[in-house]
Amino acid sequence: MKKLTVLSTSFCFAFITFCSPEMLAQQNKVTLSQDPEFERLLNEKRRINSSITVDDRYKVQIYNGDSETSKKVLSDFKREHANLDGTIVFSTPAYKVWVGNFKTRIEAERNLEALKKKYPSALLIKPNK
């Protein structure tokens, strides 16, 4: 009787070991559905990141605050000053609007004086410092 129990237990174990992976195997079908808005946002992020340059150039910061107001300030600035580029940079906890890309400090200071008329809190920055 003991041999029969050991034999039947061994048989059951072997059956379960060899047959169950085939019965429980998953199919290799993967369906990926991606929202088209995701691709648009990803492209926008790439565009914004490529416009942010941190080098030896000077910039003027015209706003420091919340996200919505910084977007409004940047759009107003771009309407009035089409010849100067601008971008929004997030630096915890605030959003900053940086404009211009000036090679020399003198050029940046000239533009800073002109921008201070409309943006009194504007200041000169050098991003990598």
Give the DSSP letter string of 56-92: S-EEEEEEEE-HHHHHHHHHHHHHH-TTS-EEEEEET
Confidence band (pLDDT; 50, 70, 90) for 57? Answer: confident
Cis? peptide before 127, omega within 30° of 0 = no
Domains plus CATH for the chain?
55-125 (3.30.70.1070)
Confidence band (pLDDT; 50, 70, 90) for 112? Answer: very high
Compute the average pLDDT of residues 43-54.
73
Give the pair of three-digit tokens for residue 2: 């003991």
> Which residue did the predictor score with more confidence, 81 or 14?
81
Query: Is a pLDDT exceeding 90 seen at residue 97?
Result: yes
Q: What pTM did the predictor assign?
A: 0.56
In this structure, how many other beta carbons lie within 10 angstroms of the beta carbon of residue 119?
19
Cis? peptide before 93, omega within 30° of 0 = yes
Confidence band (pLDDT; 50, 70, 90) for 119? Answer: very high
Q: In this predicted structure, what is the pLDDT of residue 45?
A: 85
Give the pair of three-digit tokens for residue 104: 């020399």
Instruction: Name the average pLDDT for the chain.
Output: 82
Compute the average pLDDT of residues 50-64.
78
